[in-house]
């Protein structure tokens, strides 16, 4: 015990000495002045697009989108909202994105129909293949890695923070694209951080590969920038206020 106390006292003396030496040094030695961060004007609220964002849907039109098969956009647009038309097919951005910050607001139908995966189902696919699940998970039991806030069939959300059906919900996503070697093998996996309704539900998780409904996810080399896809899962899910920042 005596030796332990001597060691603690010695470590304390070393710490005090190190701090005193720092105070006597030049603070400018640890100041970094360049590069200077660029100025970005934030939105008036946390949901509004900042000045450097690309607005993908602000409610007036859906010019940034097209049907996934290349045809014209064919979802319903009204009252500053775009809504899935069941069986119309997925839609995707005309522009491709890699590393990005994505803000998107979504709402499942107020009238509850179905259960499990059949209730308010849609999905947001980063680079067209890495899915963040959209689902009515308010008092609705389903498999945990398939509920709202999950990286579908991969990562269970840290919490279920779903609002009741018919209420607007928000995803704020930070996505890091995967990197590949020239021989098409994986250099680094995709990563995703997600806040749902202001609550952290995915914390910089490494993705196992592209979404697979059956079987194990895997990677296949693809472009450095790919479209963002919104899924038509035959439920009238609505979206609004969609913007993205390339990182």
CB 27 within 8 A of CB 21: no
CB 65 within 8 A of CB 88: no
CB 192 within 8 A of CB 202: yes
Overall average pLDDT of the 118-128 stretch: 97
The pLDDT, as a whole number, for residue 71 is 85
For the cut 90, the answer to whether the pLDDT of residue 46 exceeds it is no
For the cut 80, the answer to whether the pLDDT of residue 212 exceeds it is yes
| Secondary structure letter of residue 18 according to DSSP | H
Higher pLDDT, 7 or 145: 145
Dihedral through CA 10, CA 12, CA 13, CA 17, nearest 10?
140
For the cut 60, the answer to whether the pLDDT of residue 16 exceeds it is no
The alpha carbons of the chain give a radius of gyration, in whole angstroms, of 23
For the cut 60, the answer to whether the pLDDT of residue 75 exceeds it is yes
Q: How far apart are CA 129 and CA 227, in angstroms?
A: 9
The answer to which of 33-42, 94-103, 164-173, 175-184 has the lowest mean pLDDT is 33-42
Overall average pLDDT of the 162-174 stretch: 98
For the cut 80, the answer to whether the pLDDT of residue 171 exceeds it is yes
pLDDT band, residue 206 (cuts 50/70/90): very high
Q: Which helix (H) or strand (E) holds 13?
A: helix 2-24
Overall average pLDDT of the 129-158 stretch: 98
What class has domain 54-246?
Answer: mainly beta
For the cut 80, the answer to whether the pLDDT of residue 147 exceeds it is yes
The pLDDT, as a whole number, for residue 12 is 61
166 contact partners, CB below 8 Å, separation of at least 6: 107, 108, 109, 110, 111
Q: For residue 14, count other CB atoms closer than 10 A to its CB.
A: 10
Q: Which helix (H) or strand (E) holds 5?
A: helix 2-24
Q: Where in the chain are the domains?
A: 54-246
Q: What distances in angstroms separate CA 20 from CA 15, 17, 104, one per listed residue?
A: 9, 5, 50
CB 191 within 8 A of CB 126: no
Largest CA distance in the chain: 80
pTM for the structure as a whole = 0.88
The answer to which of 67-71, 174-178, 196-200 has the lowest mean pLDDT is 67-71
User: Which sign does the torsion angle of CA 221, 223, 229, 234 carry?
Assistant: negative
CB 134 within 8 A of CB 124: yes
Q: Distance from CA of residue 33 to its chain's centroid?
A: 31
The pLDDT, as a whole number, for residue 25 is 86
Closest CA to 221 of 175, 186, 177: 186
For the cut 80, the answer to whether the pLDDT of residue 11 exceeds it is no
């Amino acid at each position: 015990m005596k030796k332990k106390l001597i060691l603690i006292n010695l470590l304390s003396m070393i710490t005090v000495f190190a701090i005193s030496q720092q105070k006597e040094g030049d603070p400018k030695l640890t100041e970094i002045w360049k590069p200077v961060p660029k100025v970005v004007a934030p939105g008036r609220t946390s949901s509004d697009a900042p000045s450097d964002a690309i607005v993908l849907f602000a409610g007036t039109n859906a010019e940034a989108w097209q049907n996934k098969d290349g045809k014209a956009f064919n979802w319903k647009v009204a009252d500053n909202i775009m809504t899935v038309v069941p069986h119309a097919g997925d839609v995707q951005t005309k522009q491709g994105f890699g590393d990005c910050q994505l803000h998107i607001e979504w709402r499942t139908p107020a009238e509850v129909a179905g259960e499990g995966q059949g209730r308010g189902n849609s999905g947001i696919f980063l680079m067209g293949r890495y899915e963040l699940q959209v689902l009515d998970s308010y008092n609705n039991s389903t498999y945990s890695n398939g509920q709202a806030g999950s990286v579908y069939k991969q990562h269970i959300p840290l919490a279920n923070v779903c609002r009741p059906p018919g209420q607007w919900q928000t995803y704020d996503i930070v996505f890091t694209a995967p990197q590949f070697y020239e021989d098409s093998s994986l250099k680094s996996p995709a990563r995703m951080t997600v806040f749902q309704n202001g609550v952290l539900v995915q914390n910089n998780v490494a993705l196992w590969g592209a979404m697979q409904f059956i079987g194990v996810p895997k990677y296949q080399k693809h472009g450095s920038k790919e479209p963002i896809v919104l899924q038509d899962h035959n439920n009238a899910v609505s979206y609004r206020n969609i913007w993205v920042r390339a990182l």
